[in-house]
A and B are shown apart, each in its own frame.
Chain A
Amino acid sequence: MTEAKRNQEINQRLANLFESNVHLLEDGAGGVLNDARKPAIEAFRKQGIPDFKTENYKYTNLAKIFANENHRRVFAYEESNVNLHELFQCDVPELDTNLVMLTNGWYYSGNEQLTELPEGVVVTSLRKAAVEYPELVEKYYGKMADPEKDPLTALNTAFAQDGVFIYVPRSVVVEKPIQIIDLMRGGENTYATQRNLVIAEENSQVKVIFCDHTLDPQDYMVNNLTEAHVGENAVVDFYNLQNQHNKAVNLTGLYIRQERNSNVLTNTLSLHGGIVRNNLNVLIDGEHAEANLYGLALTDKSQHVDNFTFVEHAHPDCQSNQLFKNVLDDQSTGGFTGRIHVGRGAHGTLAYQRNNNVLLTGTAKMNTKPQLVIDNDDVKCSHGATVGRIDEEALFYLKSRGIAEREARLMLMYAFAHEVLQEVRVEKLGERIDELVNKRLRGEVSKCHSCVMDCES
């Protein structure tokens, strides 16, 4: 079959899937989500499934992935036969979070009311929020993630039914991080669409931790998209711990719009996953705002992790920092595309980007591509990308002190990763991730069924 024909078939199949299930999709989802569906599937039809010829997806051929999937879709909430909180218990008392669970992208019905949230803060199901707070959802839903500009965003918007909704009102500080654990479950191969909306109003502060997990060995696919509005002077952190298994496909989008004086940090940690694609989009839409994007991917076997970032500097005197690192073992592959656009009016911009990669074998492969478009003279921008091997002189130094090769290599890999790990502004989470990465590098978590909360099991 030719590639064009294959792509056409995928497009047709997904469009049919939409048409024949639109009544299920619309059922109980609320007008805001439903109104966006048809334009979104149209937008998908126009763009089609991206393959290696699609510039933004050249390192992750989605057509190849979608051609081979025949996964079960979850068009209605499926009640869990076990208590997820019991199935997935937290054994780290030091990491105290406001915890909610999702299963296959749906807000778990057994989530208890979070009693320690400050007044006015809402953490709930997105479909529920669309009905209960239609003005809020309408004001922000689909405003940051444009289906016309990205086919995965189009697909997500067309099929979105649930996810998490977080609202932090003006000047409220949520001290305890909000943690969202999504568990992919089911006895057969399953595809899930998850859609989240985070609204942090002016002068508010919140830290959000997304943990992506699987409990069963089946093939899973997730199209997970988060839109976040960060108001003036707000401080918001997003951590994403991707810890599924090697047969999982994780397609994640994070769209953030920042207003003036706001400060955002994202840290994407890809520990386990078959094919991971992260689209990170930040629009700096006000003066003196700061965006920090970090990412670490540890891959082995035939895993693939591709990070795509796009930071748009639209206003003067803002700063963005990007640091992404990959450690690639066996025949695993990785991609990084870092796009920065400094607009005509964005004078005084500071935009830095770095992508460092270590290949542990001759068969691992990394593609890295900085893309800076600068339409202003008064800026400081830098980018750097390296693909290298373990420093042999450092290795010899460690060995010459009695440290065996394997341990010495681990120390160096860990040291390499640590630069990203230290950029975690939740102390206990940082320690926990440190430990998890250490274990991951040692190969002690070969197929992880547990998250940062529960990795002793």
Chain B
Amino acid sequence: MLIVKDLHAKVEGKEILKGINLEVNPGEVHAIMGPNGSGKSTLANVLAGHENYEVTGGEVTFFGKDLLDMDADVRSKEGLFLSFQYPVEIPGVSMVNFLKTALNEHRKYQGKDELKAGDFLKLMKEKKALVEIDSHLTNRSVNEGFSGGEKKKNEIFQMAMLEPKLAILDETDSGLDIDALRIVAHGVNALKRPDNATIVVTHYQRLLDYIVPDFVHVLYNGRIVKSAGKELALELEEKGYDWIKKEVGA
């Protein structure tokens, strides 16, 4: 579904991604791990289409289409989803209006009719239960006054509403207590289907106890320097990242 070939990207003139290669197929869970500053979040944002990141080389196809040629909203409608590391607060835009607009844009793109108000509320209720998000939160403005954990739950809730084909979870575990982490992981697992895939971007191995990856990649200095099965995550947890750095440096 996703094929990344030799992807290079810059932020504010500085090259962060220096040739990423990655292939993700339906039904797979990939973990991307790496020390701080290795380019993990940059990769997530570049794939989602953030304009502050300038792609300087390489190509990315998503179901055979040129992903880099699409605007961020089109990527979303094609089935890509980014769970933000730091979801932004948007005062004055209500959660309900936001979700309804987003969902209907997706449906329009797929040639479907807009959801009826009643059906929308029913769907919302169902998906809210999945991530155990408080009802009062969805009556507020987007992320406004949400705690860190609530913001992360809200990301997974949106993911549940939009049912993406490929979800990229950017450090969804950061700042989450263990209970919230379990709820978020449970939500992600419940959404797993043979025809969708997940990329879990994380610094730590803990989340991977709950969302079990098929592949673990180590990103270091803008490149994927090591790929293996889930056992690699445990090794990283035990030994830290220094041995990778040495191995690469050597």
Contact = CB atoms under 8 A, between A and B. Distances in A.
Interface of A: 391-394, 396-405, 407-408, 411-412, 414-416, 418-419
Contacts of A404: 71, 73, 105
Nearest to B79: A402
Nearest to A397: B88
A408 B88 contact: no
Contacts of A419: 91-92
B95 to A, nearest CB: 12
A402 B51 contact: no
B152 interface: no
A394 B98 contact: no
B73 A405 contact: yes
Contact of B162 (A399, A402, A411, A415): A402
A411 B101 contact: yes
B73 A403 contact: yes
A393 B102 contact: no
B87 A402 contact: no
Nearest to A406: B73
A408 B84 contact: no
Given A403-B73, A415-B92, A397 B87 contact: yes
Nearest to B99: A401
Q: For the side of the interface on B, what is the size category?
A: 20 to 34
A413 to B, nearest CB: 10
B77 to A, nearest CB: 5
Contacts of A408: 73
A38 B133 CA distance: 70
Contact of B93 (A392, A405, A415): A415
Nearest to A402: B76
Contacts of A397: 84, 87-88, 90, 142
16 contacts: A396-B50, A397-B90, A398-B98, A399-B72, A400-B48, A400-B49, A400-B73, A400-B84, A401-B76, A402-B73, A402-B102, A402-B109, A412-B90, A415-B90, A419-B91, A419-B92
Given A407-B105, A411-B98, A411-B101, A401 B158 contact: yes
B17 interface: no
B82 interface: yes
A411 B105 contact: no
Given A401-B102, A402-B73, A412 B49 contact: no
Given A408-B73, A412-B93, A399 B88 contact: no
A393 B77 CA distance: 19
A399 B92 contact: no
Interface string B88-116: 10111100011001100110010000000
A419 B101 CA distance: 21
A315 B129 CA distance: 55
Nearest to B87: A397
Contacts of A398: 90, 93, 98, 102
Interface string B33-61: 00000000000000011111000000000
Given A396-B50, A401-B76, A411 B93 contact: yes
A403 B71 contact: no
A296 to B, nearest CB: 13
Given A397-B88, A400-B84, A411-B101, 11 more contacts: A396-B51, A397-B87, A401-B162, A402-B106, A402-B162, A403-B98, A407-B101, A411-B97, A415-B92, A416-B92, A418-B92
B150 to A, nearest CB: 16
A162 B156 CA distance: 62
Contact of B73 (A399, A414, A418): A399
Nearest to B82: A400
* Shortest Cβ-Cβ A-B pairs, 5 listed: A415-B92, A402-B76, A399-B72, A401-B102, A399-B73
A392 B81 CA distance: 18
Instruction: Among B48, B52, B75, B91, find the residue whose CB has the most chain A CB atoms closer than 10 A.
Output: B91
B71 A399 contact: yes
Nearest to A417: B92
Given A402-B77, A402-B106, A405-B71, A415 B101 contact: no
A391 B88 CA distance: 10
A421 to B, nearest CB: 10
A294 to B, nearest CB: 15
Contacts of B72: 396, 399-400
A262 B50 CA distance: 52
Contact of A399 (B49, B84, B90, B106): B49
Contacts of A399: 49, 71-73, 76
Contacts of B52: 392
A400 B91 contact: no
Contact of A394 (B50, B88, B97): B88
A387 B218 CA distance: 43
A95 to B, nearest CB: 23
A414 B92 contact: yes
Contacts of A412: 90, 93
Contacts of B98: 398, 401, 403, 411
A397 B155 CA distance: 11
Given A401-B102, A405-B71, A393 B93 contact: no
Nearest to A419: B92
A398 B109 CA distance: 16
A394 B90 contact: yes
A225 B158 CA distance: 51
B88 to A, nearest CB: 5
Interface string B135-173: 000000110000000000000001000100000000000
Contacts of A400: 48-49, 72-73, 75-76, 81-82, 84
Contacts of B106: 402
Contacts of B102: 398, 401-403
Contacts of A418: 92
A163 B8 CA distance: 69
A174 to B, nearest CB: 32
A434 to B, nearest CB: 12
